Structure 1
Amino acid sequence: MRAISGLWRWRRNPLCRTTDLAEAWLALVALMLIAVAAPVTGWLVGAAAQHSLQRAVREQQRTRHLVTATVVRDLGEVPPESDPDTTTARQTHRRVLADWTAPDGSHRHGPALTDVKSPDTGDHFRLWTDPQGRITTRPLDSATATTHAVLAGTGAALLATGLVEAARRLAVWRMVRGRFARWDQAWDRAGPDWGKAGTGS
């Protein structure tokens, strides 16, 4: 990491400038923030995401029901890319006209997706519905929710690390520009007499 490279300026050196020491302090602060603040940020974001997602898991498992539907008519194959709920790339779905009974006891009729390869009239398949019988997606499971929370926490920690490093680089860039500006001013003052015998004596 580039932040660590600035720490060499802590060495005792008679040529060490004030800006060198400032860069060393900046590198140390950035390193401490990356080592402490980034993991804490990741943990907080991950914990918040875990809490929210697990609440969603409980809600979905409470309100989504697996019911048995009966095929009325085959409506054809669904291209895999148009089905966002396909669990694997090789799994294909058929679109069928079906009848089913909602959890509230009402009878439903409409198009649905099934993984039955060659659905015939009268075939049975399972689908997820809400309490009123409207087709919905499979409820989120606890393990998937935890995976998403871990990814969110990791992403937050990496983002925090990137922001700290970007801020350090910006500050160093501004210090270097200031240093070059001071050098230009010094050269402008010394320019007319530079190289002449007796200059500065």
Structure 2
Amino acid sequence: MTRRQPRTLSVSLDDRARIPFAVIGALLLVTSVMVVGILESREAPDVDADRAAAMDRTETAAQSELRGIVVDATQQAAAQPMTTSSVDGLEGLSEDAVFERYLELLIYLGAQESLSNAGQSVGDAETTVSLEGEVPDDPAAAFDDADDLVTVAERDDGDGLLDVTLERVTITLEDGDAVVDERTLPELTVTVGTPILELQQAAREYE
């Protein structure tokens, strides 16, 4: 009589065949959850990096824009100098002082008009640049605002370098339609090579 083989082995093989598939399915599920979690966690740093880069680039661009504004203002002041004025606050000042206030005004007007060109865009982050207030219609008030916000200083060593400081420049960061950051720079300073103040003084002394 032929002996029947026990069926315990086939059951064991069947179980061994099923267990790996269950484990693999669980591992795939866990792995997919981990991947999604990693991708989501990476999103925030990327956004922060874009915003930080936009703010840093904007400050650099604002300096470059201001330098161009100063160059244009010195050229205009040299071509059309003003050494006397009947505007309130300028009467009684020396010719050199009036010319310097005039140069400050030209820089102030240029900044109000062109400093916004320094705005940057990085990813979804966008920046805008603005100067405090608006240009007053009253000439005396405009000269006063320029004197408050712009400082022009000639280097003592007489090397033809002019230090110009613009105060209260605001950089606004937007992501979509939301303002997410705003930074007001106490001072924005550039150095421009121009002997304009020396030339003005020399021309006055010659006259």
Q: Is this a same-fold pair by TM over 0.5?
A: no
Looking at CA atoms only, which structure, 1 or 2, has the larger radius of gyration?
2
Instruction: State the TM-score, normalized to the length of structure 1.
Output: 0.32
TM-score normalised per structure 2 = 0.31
Bigger RCO of structures 1 and 2 (CA < 8 A, at least 6 apart): 1
